[in-house]
Structure formats: structure tokens, C-alpha cells
Chains A and B, each alone.
Chain A
Amino acid sequence: MNFSVIPISYYLVLSAVLFGLGLLAFVFKRNIITIFMAIELMLNAVNLAFVAFARAHNQLDGLVFVFFVIVVAACEAAVGLAIVISVYVNRQTLNIERINLLKF
């Protein structure tokens, strides 16, 4: 069974849709952690695009970039979640709309 009969555009559209959904979650969710997840989702969508392109060109660079994206995502999660914890410790809430001290 040869799987390269599927046009790359399918993957691209899928990644676009996932990215958009991630974006939607990004603005739509109130829970900081969930918002983080939204970001991760977007990153994943991007990764999919990367892999698809790599496949399209038969080049591995795209995959390398996926690696880097994953690493960065990991760092981001580590620091971000640490921040989330300290925020929760201080404010007893995860609702991003209630964490609004930083305004004019």
C-alpha cells in the first residue's frame, strides 16, 4: 500500500484547520492551562505542516525543524506550568480573566 497517493494539500488543510481550532481555543478558553494546551495544539498543527512539506520535497529539514519545535514546546511547557502554579498559589484561580492586575 503506497501512502504517497494522498496529495500534500490534504495534510496542509488539516494542519490549517487544526491551527485555526487552536487559535479559537486560544481566544475562547479561560483556563490558563487550557490556553497553554491551545498553544501546544497550534504547534502541533505547524509540525504537521512541516512534516508534510518535508515529505513533499523528500527532504529531511522539515523533520529537523519539527524536532526543534518539540524542544521549544517542552521548554515552554516547563516554564509556563511553573508560572501557572505560582500564579495559582498567589491568586487561587486559573481563570485568566480574573488575573487582571496588570492594567492601566
Chain B
Amino acid sequence: MIPFILFFLLAFVAVGAAVALIVAREPIHSALSLILVMISLAVLYLLLGAEFISAVQIIVYAGAIMVLFVFVIMLLNAGVEERTDFSKLAKWVGPILAFFMIVELGVWLSRSAIGRVVATGSPESYTPASTVGLSRMIFQQYLLPFEATSILILIAIIGALVLAKKGE
């Protein structure tokens, strides 16, 4: 009983925050609601037994990326978003399609074979291994992708520097 309540509570928060992100005119509010989404997702990860991921989710997403967003928003301080509608396509077709996709994906995922699985195996068998096993996987099985991402980060840093540099 309690798990379901908890789940639905979090799901509600997440969806609500996502909606808030859309309706908010103030970028900061959008950012805050996005942070809320992320946090609730982190808790959902806890329910799913992925402690470490949830922590990382908060640290990196909420703690770093979103701070970056907030920082930029504050730096530019560009004020509220103006609701122009130059693109008729986006105005009419976009939302409809998006809703369509929500329904579509929802139906599809819920009815897909994996969807009916109730996660087997008790969390104990799953969780304690997760941090250790995770690191094993990253540094052994997925070492190459890992290094690749590190290079990607390097590139991103350089790119950001180049972009931010004042035109000499």
C-alpha cells in the first residue's frame, strides 16, 4: 500500500512540476520546477533501488547542471519570456503532436512485454551490489565508452571556453 502511495505522490509531483515548467513564464521558475522533477525522480530511483544513481542524479543534475542554468539565467537576467507565435506550425501542430506522443508512448510502454514485469529479486540482492558492481562495470566492461565520455567532456570544456572568450 505505502509503496503505491509514495510512488503516485512522487509521480504527481514530477508531472506537476513538468507542467509548471511549461506554464511558467519566468525562466527561474521553470528551472526550479525542473529541479523539483529531478529530485522526485531521484527519490523514484531510490524506490527502484538505485541509490547511487539517485545521489548522482541530484549531485550532477540538480547540483551542477541546473546551478549552471540558474547562473546563466541570473547572469543574463533577460526577464520573462515573451510569448510570440511567429511559427504557426509550432503553435498548432506541435502541442497536438506532443500530446499524441505522450499517449502513444504511454500506451506502448505500458503494454510492452517488459512493462508487465514486477521486478523480481529482493532489493537486497540488487542494491548492495549496485555501487560496487556499477563501478566494476564502468571501469571494466564499459571502459572505452567511459574514456570516450571523458574526452567528450574535455571537448565540451574547450568549446565552452572558446565560445565564452571575448572576441580579441
The answer to whether A and B come from one shared complex is yes
Name A residues whose Cβ lies closer than 8 Å to a Cβ of B. 1-31, 33-34, 36-38, 40-41, 44, 47-49, 51-56, 58, 60-61, 63-64, 66-68, 70-79, 81-86, 88, 93-95, 97-98, 100
User: Contact at B57–A79, with CB atoms within 8 Å?
Assistant: no
User: Contact at A27–B4, with CB atoms within 8 Å?
Assistant: no
User: Contact at A14–B15, with CB atoms within 8 Å?
Assistant: yes
- What string of 1s and 0s marks CB contacts (under 8 Å) between B40-73 and chain A? 0100110111101100110011001110110011
List B contacts of A19 (CB < 8 A): 101-102, 105
Nearest-CB residue, chain B, relative to A48: B41
A100 to B90, CA, bound (A): 15
User: Contact at A85–B164, with CB atoms within 8 Å?
Assistant: yes
User: Contact at A60–B137, with CB atoms within 8 Å?
Assistant: yes
User: Contact at A24–B118, with CB atoms within 8 Å?
Assistant: no
A21 to B95, CA, bound (A): 9
Size of chain B's interface in residues, with CB distance under 8 A?
96
Provide 21 A-B residue pairs closer than 8 Å at the C-beta atoms, listed in order of the A residue: A3-B123, A4-B122, A7-B118, A9-B116, A11-B48, A16-B108, A20-B98, A21-B15, A33-B76, A36-B69, A63-B53, A67-B56, A70-B60, A75-B156, A77-B68, A78-B68, A81-B69, A82-B164, A88-B78, A94-B27, A97-B84
Q: A34 to chain B: closest CB distance in Å? A: 5
Q: B98 contacts which of A27, A47, A70 (Cβ < 8 Å)?
A: A27
Contacts known (A21-B102, A47-B57, A70-B57); A86 close to B163, Cβ less than 8 A? yes
